[in-house]
Amino acid sequence: MTDPNDRLAVVVQQSPMTAEYQTPKNPSCVVCARRKVRCDRNDPCSACIKRGIECVFPTHIPPRRRKRRRSEEDRRHSGFYQSPIRQDNAASARIRNIDHPATTHNAFPNAPRAEQGMLLTGDGKSVYLDSLPRAEDVLRDMSDNDSNHSVQEVDEETSLILGGAVKKSLSELHPSPLHIFKLWQTFLENVNPLIKILHGPTVQQQLLEATGSLGTVSKEFEALMFSIYCIALVSLKADDVQNTYGESKAVLLSRSRRGARLAFTKAGILRTSKTVVLQAYVLYLLSLRASSDPQSIWSLCGVAMRMAQRIGLHRDGSELGLSIFETEMRRRLWRQLSILDVTTAQSSGVTSQFPYFSVDVLPPSNINDSELDPRMTDPPREHHGATEMMFVLARNEFGEWMRRWSKAGGDSHGGRGFLASSSLSYEAKDEAINELNRAFETKFLQYCDKSIPLHYMSARLMQTVVCQMRFSAHHPRQYVEKDPVSLAERDFVFSTCVQILEGFEDCQSNEIIERYLWHVDNHIPWDALIYTLYELRTRIDEEETKRSWVLIDRIYSRHYDQMRNRPKTALHIAMQGLILKAWKSHSEERTRRNRSLLPCPHIVSVLAERSERGISSHQPRSEPSVSGSGTPQGRTTQDITPGNVGTLDPLNNFDLSPLDWSQWDDLLENFQLEFTNSELFSTDAL
């Protein structure tokens, strides 16, 4: 019987099945062998029948080489190496469990407690195997000769996701060498500090070599190059792209995305065992995140997760005998991919079925890239202060906290679901959030120098996350059909929402972190915005309400302008109604209590005017000007009377009271579905 305390301790033993076969196998047909797909060896085979082509088998089976014992050195030189960390004897390898505080529970309660596996590595490739009977097929895939596979032939599975035919050369889709290096510098400044899945010094040298001879660059690294172009362009403003590269951002980004899809097809993305292709694919997904719907990105994340499992990223490299450098980079990539999968799943309204953090994978180290080298044999000493890994490690800390608390109360809620669970008291939830806040303070915030852009961005992230967790724990949807919410609770939730809006607006408008805007762009905190508007209908305290209207004006005006070329959605109709009705109610309440009226927010003026004229396009005439006191200047309240607000269409077609969160959830979900990038699966030429 398996020891229940030894969850991952398993012995991979050489089976007689791997050394001999009782019955000889027929060969694969010529077409399947050339396409490197599994053949059922029937005559004709099902694959050829499906493709409508003639099925031809070879006239004879090449003699199989006699197997012989090979030394470890022979296996390394051959390019493929079984790489367990500990070998109890010549025929076994052990992968042991790592017990560290943050990773002591499997995210799958019903998963088997023992796992067999080994890692085959060589020539930049790695394949993780849970069982041995298919090892021969995997080795054959790893040793495929590229010359036997036409670069113009695309298998049906890859074309389903990435499109049609592949060109022999993608050189004409690359920018000029000067522009390639500029995009790389943009990547290093704007993108890499927030994800850290590439080792800057190593990739820079490879990029310089590749730029000098684009025709001979490997297909795997070419995929990485195009993905770097994509994410770098996404991080830039349209005007900056036009001024620097002489073409519009839309044209360059479309060309780079097309090059990336074709490069992935050439690299055999669905069969690859090279980490560099997975790194490229994660960058590509990140570049799509702001312009595509979460459901599509989450589905594409599934491909990345399967690639990661094939490569063995879900097992820690230190237990697989990998180098210090490779182990560290695998940890970074696995954590970033896990976060992407979880966040896109959450945006899609589902709980990710894959664990954020495998019980076997340790967190990345708190070290700078300059302290890592592919040739190093001794681990670098970790820092106890700020490094260039601050943002990544802060997100990791948040993920570890969520994983620990996701099983609070004896239930498995997945992600932050425990904050909405009735099995935990509000006091217990608040204490959990206080624990997260203390971890942020002691590990990161006390070392932050807010004059450094990365530190400022990290601090803003941590502060906003804590506020968002407090809002989730006290979310108004938990009070539906219950006793009225106390005034103190309403004040607390309102104040928390205002802090969330302040954090979002700071990220959008603060020049010191402008380079990181791509990471937060188009991710409006809708729930906090909606609740704030509902509360503002009856609140008249001067400072907080004035500050709230300023924030709403700036945030929604910016979003309204960004959506000017898109058709109006049900969400925007509802938000238009909510903003105007909230302002109407707020003004009436101030009048009733003999308070002076606030200057009308710019966005209210624009929405009212557009509705009166029946114009559905999203385009404010100008940005709101702000007075010295921080109040937006626009039309006065008297210009928008309660009477004319009540007659505006489509305001009266949407019931906004009482607050119905299920209705708003449906609107947000539909908006995300309509926010799909039609280019996602397109490979049409420009």
Answer whether residue 634 is part of any domain.
no
Give the model confidence (pLDDT) of 365-392 as tens digits: 999 999 999 999 999 999 999 999 999 9
CATH, residue 53: 4.10.240.10
CA distance 250 to 677: 12
Boundaries of domain holding 254? 118-130+159-354
CA distance 424 to 670: 31
Tell whether 394 and 438 lie within a shared domain: yes
Q: Which residues pair with 625 in a beta bridge?
A: 633
What's residue 631's pLDDT?
35
CA distance 14 to 279: 33
Contacts of 412 (CB under 8 A, 6+ apart): 109, 406
In percent, the amount of the chain with pLDDT more than 90 equals 41
Tell whether 276 and 184 lie within a shared domain: yes
Tokens of 344: 């896109």
CA distance 101 to 98: 10
Answer whether residue 618 is part of any domain.
no
Which of the listed residues 479, 494, 512 is the one where a domain comes to its end? 479
Q: Residue holding tokens 């076969």?
A: 21
3-state helix, strand, coil in the chain (%, to 5): 55, 5, 40
Answer whether residue 575 is part of any domain.
yes
What's residue 468's pLDDT?
93
Q: What is the largest CA-CA distance in the chain?
A: 98
Tell whether 463 and 492 lie within a shared domain: no
CA distance 304 to 281: 7
Tell whether 496 and 588 lie within a shared domain: yes
What's residue 165's pLDDT?
58
CB of 431 closer than 8 Å to CB of 388: no
Q: Residue holding tokens 């966005």?
A: 603
CB of 513 closer than 8 Å to CB of 460: yes
Give the model confidence (pLDDT) of 545-571 as tens digits: 999 999 999 999 988 887 777 667 788
Phi and psi at residue 543, to the nearest 5°: -65, -50
Based on its alpha-carbon atoms, the radius of gyration of the chain, rounded to whole angstroms, reads 28
Which of the listed residues 570, 594, 611 is the one where a domain comes to its end? 611
Give the model confidence (pLDDT) of 421-468 as tens digits: 777 888 999 999 999 999 999 999 999 999 999 999 999 999 999 999
Task: Specify the pairing of strand 92-95 against strand 118-122.
Answer: unpaired
Tell whether 182 and 305 lie within a shared domain: yes
- Mean pLDDT comparison of 131-145, 342-356, 368-382, 512-526, highest-scoring range: 368-382
CB of 620 closer than 8 Å to CB of 656: no
Tell whether 435 and 538 lie within a shared domain: no
Tell whether 257 and 122 lie within a shared domain: yes
Tokens of 353: 């079925």
Tell whether 196 and 333 lie within a shared domain: yes
Tell whether 168 and 221 lie within a shared domain: yes
Q: Which residues pair with 12 in a beta bridge?
A: 93
DSSP string, 631-675: PEE-S-GGGS-HHHHHT-TTGGGS---S--HHHHHHHHHHHHHHS
What's residue 25's pLDDT?
56
Answer whether residue 505 is part of any domain.
yes
CA distance 194 to 183: 16
Instruction: Provide the number of structural domains found in the chain.
Output: 4
Tell whether 268 and 172 lie within a shared domain: yes
Answer whether residue 631 is part of any domain.
no
What's the pTM value of the predicted model, to 2 decimals?
0.73
Average pLDDT, stretch 186-194? 97
Give the model confidence (pLDDT) of 321-330 as tens digits: 899 999 999 9
**Bigger pLDDT: 94 or 281?**
281
- Amino acid code (one letter) for 352: S
Strands of the sheet containing 10-13, edge to edge, are: 10-13, 92-95, 86-89
CB of 576 closer than 8 Å to CB of 653: no
Answer whether residue 445 is part of any domain.
yes
CA distance 55 to 29: 7
Phi and psi at residue 126, to the nearest 5°: -150, 140
Tell whether 416 and 502 lie within a shared domain: no
CA distance 8 to 319: 11
CA distance 379 to 483: 58
Tell whether 124 and 252 lie within a shared domain: yes
Which of the listed residues 337, 354, 371 is the one where a domain comes to its end? 354
Answer whether residue 83 is part of any domain.
no
